[in-house]
């Protein structure tokens, strides 16, 4: 399959078994079986997936699809979902923004690739940006992720060629070398050009070579354009698709090259297909600027691209996101077929409904029961997969709250790489809760809602009933079951583990200390951008930079009014405690225990140094922060 999509088996491990629907495990006594089509989402979708989805890039990694599309703004947006259809309603999260006048604006064509850099494998986000009010200074920029999470945080690494116009960058790995392929105007002709790289953000001081020149009739409709090169590697062969003709015409389309020699820098070692490989139909116009991804089980190859529904539409916000499966010819060339007609039902990528075991990326949490002060965990007995409460420790009971759809999450266990479910999709009180492979059913999804004294409740999507400790016991290894809503021990504290970066959903910048003041800064591995959440006497938490510090995030002079400044105050102050409230898309609002008001960005600013204040509860993205691991 597509080699870059299978590195480190990023598709996860699909467990081949006879499990289907909500079957029980071998060691479970079945007390109730309630398998119903209503427990599962079909995953069937129709194109377009959603509007205004130009220049898409999509990867499936560790149990989730990740998607970027052009924004035209100063923000880089990412969507995430465990299903392809779920991307249509996934919360857009801005993972980066810039206010530097040289590269602040007109963000285009983001692509994120998992490459081995100086510090190991990282995600490298290459995107086009330029200056306000003009498109004359567009150029490629590169970000590097902190770890293996495509959601970041990201650090800015540099611009490839900031002095000249260049767009639509894509990486090629071949024979142990790394190359970038980009597009550039020379006179009245737009070319695709290749250059070798020193590392994912630095070019070697060598000549750049032209790979595609628009010369065939189907490459010069409207203007002479070849752009948007994308690499496709299969069975030891390397192909490159590219978008041809002017994007403002309905004749924008895909062409194809194959590397038929050994040297990617030698244009003679590439062979161009004489005909386009993906073109307009009577219902889809201007299909192009594509990407490739594999299905969750690795058995299918998929094409993602943008297109228009009308011949009058061009390269504007009318371009919508589309996806479809493609195949291979008997002689080993890709066969993309035709763009699917809008409204035609498309089956989801193979393996989307599991069974899947994978280490989902994201912030780790412990879920601490408010009554027993023990952590939600899975039995230590390897023959037993039931949910229990155990002593909280840094080596167990860690969960990722991973968004699904409609405001629900799945609870991904970091130890066994499985997911919390209600066994057999039971709706009864005291039903067993257990760890199991992901099968994309509602019995494995949960609603996290504000509870009492800073705590939360976790209710099953299918039954609507909450998690609680059996008999409200304070004993370790007591079962955690599905109870009724009247249970007295269904309150849980969300306790983030380890050092945390707090990234604004609005700006993609990190909450940071400057002196004693709290502001936002572009992420740059600074100690001032790293936080610890320390539990207090209830479900509330203190937010500090060092476990032994006497200073915590609080409100200046204990003011209760909106607009009051946020700074580092003595941890004994009454405004130095906070409640985490989950929001759709995986973000959190931080509410002050005393004032009951949330943190937020002043004026929803993107600028470096924008101040943090307490605000009225408006639940905007300017008040939502995403917890990420900063190392």
- Both 306 and 389 in one domain: the answer is no
Closest CA to 368 of 286, 489, 254: 489
Average pLDDT over residues 29-33: 35
- Both 371 and 273 in one domain: the answer is no
DSSP 38: G
Q: What is the pLDDT of residue 98?
A: 96
Is residue 34 included in any domain, yes or no?
Answer: no
CA distances from 106 to 4, 58, 531 (A): 28, 20, 33
The encoded tokens of residue 412 equal 């991904």
To the nearest whole percent, how much of the chain has pLDDT over 90?
A: 91
Residue 502 and residue 153 in contact, taking contact as beta carbons nearer than 8 Å: no
Domain range for 428: 356-496
The C-alpha atoms of residue 170 and residue 165 are separated, in whole angstroms, by: 16
Is residue 169 included in any domain, yes or no?
Answer: yes
Q: How far is CA 598 from the centre of its chain?
A: 25
Among the residue ranges 37-41, 59-63, 464-468, 549-553, the one predicted with the least confidence is: 37-41
The C-alpha atoms of residue 590 and residue 625 are separated, in whole angstroms, by: 8
Kindly report whether the peptide bond that precedes residue 153 is cis, defined as omega within 30 degrees of 0. Answer: yes
Write the DSSP string, 464-521.
-PBEEEGGG--STTPBEEE--TT-TT--EEEEE-SSBEEEETTT-PEEEEETTEEEEE
DSSP H or E segment with residue 307? strand 301-308
pLDDT at 1 over 80: no
- Both 300 and 227 in one domain: the answer is yes
Kindly report whether the peptide bond that precedes residue 355 is cis, defined as omega within 30 degrees of 0. Answer: yes
Which of 227, 251, 377, 519 is an active site residue? 227
- Both 557 and 422 in one domain: the answer is no
55 is a catalytic site residue: yes
Last residue in a domain, options 496, 524, 553: 496
Closest CA to 160 of 116, 122, 204: 204
pLDDT tier, 40 (very low <50, low <70, confident <90, very high otherwise): low
Sheet arrangement for strand 334-335: 285-294, 301-308, 320-328, 334-335
- Both 569 and 597 in one domain: the answer is yes
Last residue in a domain, options 464, 496, 528: 496
Is residue 15 included in any domain, yes or no?
Answer: no
Average pLDDT over residues 19-27: 39
- Both 367 and 467 in one domain: the answer is yes
Among the residue ranges 3-12, 352-361, 591-600, the one predicted with the least confidence is: 3-12
- Both 407 and 298 in one domain: the answer is no
- Both 151 and 262 in one domain: the answer is yes
The C-alpha atoms of residue 534 and residue 558 are separated, in whole angstroms, by: 20
Backbone angles phi, psi at 434, to 5 degrees: -150, 170
| Total number of domains constituting the chain | 3
- Both 263 and 363 in one domain: the answer is no
CA distances from 8 to 364, 464, 530, 592 (A): 21, 37, 29, 42
pLDDT at 490 over 80: yes
Q: What is the pLDDT of residue 27?
A: 39
**What CATH number should be reported for the domain holding residue 514?**
2.80.10.50
- Both 321 and 394 in one domain: the answer is no
Torsion, Cα of 103, 107, 109, 111 (10° steps): 70
Q: What is the pLDDT of residue 140?
A: 98
- Both 159 and 198 in one domain: the answer is yes
Closest CA to 46 of 358, 321, 231: 321
The C-alpha atoms of residue 563 and residue 284 are separated, in whole angstroms, by: 49
The C-alpha atoms of residue 285 and residue 289 are separated, in whole angstroms, by: 13
Residue 334 and residue 85 in contact, taking contact as beta carbons nearer than 8 Å: no
Tell me the three state secondary structure of residue 540.
Answer: coil
Residues facing 321 on adjacent strands: 50, 306
The C-alpha atoms of residue 546 and residue 347 are separated, in whole angstroms, by: 50
- Both 257 and 158 in one domain: the answer is yes
The C-alpha atoms of residue 614 and residue 612 are separated, in whole angstroms, by: 7
Each residue's pLDDT tens digit, 195-238? 999 999 999 999 999 999 999 999 999 999 999 999 999 999 99
The C-alpha atoms of residue 108 and residue 126 are separated, in whole angstroms, by: 10
Closest CA to 87 of 111, 114, 59: 59
Closest CA to 4 of 57, 74, 78: 57
Is residue 20 included in any domain, yes or no?
Answer: no
Tell me the three state secondary structure of residue 23.
Answer: coil
Which of 40, 55, 301, 519 is an active site residue? 55
The encoded tokens of residue 271 equal 């062979």
Last residue in a domain, options 346, 378, 402: 346
pLDDT at 565 over 50: yes
The C-alpha atoms of residue 572 and residue 373 are separated, in whole angstroms, by: 22
The encoded tokens of residue 340 equal 């699917």
CA distances from 444 to 305, 436, 451, 620 (A): 31, 9, 21, 28
| 578 contact partners, CB below 8 Å, separation of at least 6 | 540, 541, 542, 543, 553, 590, 591, 592, 593, 599
Each residue's pLDDT tens digit, 135-179? 999 999 999 999 999 999 999 999 999 999 999 999 999 999 999
Is residue 12 included in any domain, yes or no?
Answer: no
Each residue's pLDDT tens digit, 342-359? 999 999 999 999 999 999
Residue 372: CB atoms within 10 Å: 17
pLDDT tier, 14 (very low <50, low <70, confident <90, very high otherwise): low
Closest CA to 228 of 56, 457, 9, 60: 56
Q: Which residue has the higher pLDDT, 37 or 338?
A: 338
Is residue 555 included in any domain, yes or no?
Answer: yes
Q: What is the pLDDT of residue 39?
A: 66
406 is a catalytic site residue: no
pLDDT at 52 over 80: yes
The C-alpha atoms of residue 208 and residue 309 are separated, in whole angstroms, by: 37
Is residue 364 included in any domain, yes or no?
Answer: yes
The C-alpha atoms of residue 448 and residue 3 are separated, in whole angstroms, by: 38
Is residue 13 included in any domain, yes or no?
Answer: no
CA distances from 124 to 60, 116, 148, 593 (A): 15, 9, 10, 39
Kindly report whether the peptide bond that precedes residue 157 is cis, defined as omega within 30 degrees of 0. Answer: no
Each residue's pLDDT tens digit, 455-475? 999 999 999 999 999 999 999
DSSP H or E segment with residue 311? none
Average pLDDT over residues 449-458: 96
pLDDT tier, 123 (very low <50, low <70, confident <90, very high otherwise): very high
Average pLDDT over residues 424-449: 97
Q: What is the pLDDT of residue 617?
A: 96
189-192 contacts at long range (C-beta below 8 A, 24 or more positions apart) = 189/213, 189/214, 189/224, 190/214, 190/223, 190/224, 190/225, 190/226, 190/227, 191/226, 192/226, 192/227, 192/229, 192/240, 192/242
């Amino acid at each position: 399959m597509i080699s870059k999509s299978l590195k480190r088996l990023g598709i996860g491990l699909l467990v081949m078994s006879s499990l289907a629907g909500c079957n029980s495990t071998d060691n479970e006594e079945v007390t109730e079986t309630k398998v119903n089509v209503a427990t599962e989402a079909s995953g069937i979708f129709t194109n377009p997936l959603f509007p205004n989805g130009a220049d898409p890039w999509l990867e499936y990694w560790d149990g989730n699809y990740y998607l970027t599309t052009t924004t035209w703004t100063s923000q880089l947006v990412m969507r995430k979902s465990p299903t392809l259809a779920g991307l249509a309603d996934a919360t857009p999260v801005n993972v980066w923004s810039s206010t530097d006048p040289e590269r602040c604006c007109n963000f285009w064509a983001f692509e994120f690739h998992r490459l081995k850099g100086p510090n190991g494998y990282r995600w490298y986000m290459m995107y086009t940006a330029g200056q306000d009010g003009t498109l004359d200074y567009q150029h490629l920029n590169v970000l590097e992720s902190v770890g293996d999470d495509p959601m970041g945080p990201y650090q800015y690494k540099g611009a490839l060629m900031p002095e000249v116009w260049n767009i639509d960058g894509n990486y090629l790995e071949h024979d142990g070398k790394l190359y970038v392929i980009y597009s550039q105007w020379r006179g009245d002709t737009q070319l695709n050009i290749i250059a070798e790289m020193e590392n994912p953000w630095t070019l070697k001081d060598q000549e750049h070579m032209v790979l595609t020149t628009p010369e065939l009739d189907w490459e010069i409709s409207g203007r002479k354009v070849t752009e948007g090169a994308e690499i496709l590697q299969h069975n030891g062969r390397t192909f490159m698709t590219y978008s041809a003709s002017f994007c403002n015409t309905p004749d924008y389309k895909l062409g194809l090259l194959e590397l038929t020699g050994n040297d990617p820098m030698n244009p003679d070692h590439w062979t161009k297909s004489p005909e386009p490989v993906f073109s307009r139909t009577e219902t889809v116009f201007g299909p192009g600027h594509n990407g490739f991804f594999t299905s969750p089980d690795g058995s299918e190859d998929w094409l993602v691209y943008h297109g228009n529904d009308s011949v009058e539409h061009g390269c504007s916000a009318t371009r919508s996101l589309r996806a479809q499966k493609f195949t291979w010819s008997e002689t080993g060339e890709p066969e993309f077929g035709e763009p699917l007609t809008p409204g035609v039902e498309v089956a989801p990528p193979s393996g989307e409904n599991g069974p899947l075991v994978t280490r989902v990326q994201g912030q780790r949490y412990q879920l601490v029961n408010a009554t027993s002060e023990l952590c939600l965990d899975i039995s230590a007995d390897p023959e037993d997969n039931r949910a229990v409460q155990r002593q909280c420790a840094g080596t167990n009971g860690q969960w990722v709250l991973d968004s699904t759809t409609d405001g629900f999450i799945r609870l991904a266990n970091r130890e066994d790489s499985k997911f919390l479910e209600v066994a057999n999709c039971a709706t009864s009180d005291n039903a067993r809760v257990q760890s199991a492979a992901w099968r994309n059913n509602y019995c494995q999804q949960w609603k996290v809602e504000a509870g009492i004294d800073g705590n939360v409740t976790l209710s099953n999507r299918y039954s609507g009933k909450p998690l609680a400790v059996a008999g409200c016991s304070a004993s370790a290894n007591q079962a955690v079951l599905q109870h009724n809503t009247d249970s007295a021990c269904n309150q849980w504290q969300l306790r983030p583990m380890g050092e945390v970066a707090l990234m604004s959903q609005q700006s993609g910048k990190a909450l940071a200390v400057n002196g004693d003041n709290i502001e936002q800064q572009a992420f740059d591995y600074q100690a001032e951008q790293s936080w610890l959440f320390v539990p207090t006497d209830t479900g509330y938490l203190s937010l500090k930079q060092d476990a032994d510090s006497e200073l915590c995030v609080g409100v200046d002079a204990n003011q209760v009014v909106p607009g009051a400044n946020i700074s580092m105050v003595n941890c004994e102050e009454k405004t130095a405690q906070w409640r985490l409230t989950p929001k759709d898309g995986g973000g959190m609002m931080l509410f002050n225990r005393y004032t009951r008001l949330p943190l937020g960005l002043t004026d929803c600013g993107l600028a470096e140094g924008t101040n943090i204040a307490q605000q009225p509860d408006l639940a905007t993205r300017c008040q939502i922060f995403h917890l990420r691991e900063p190392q």
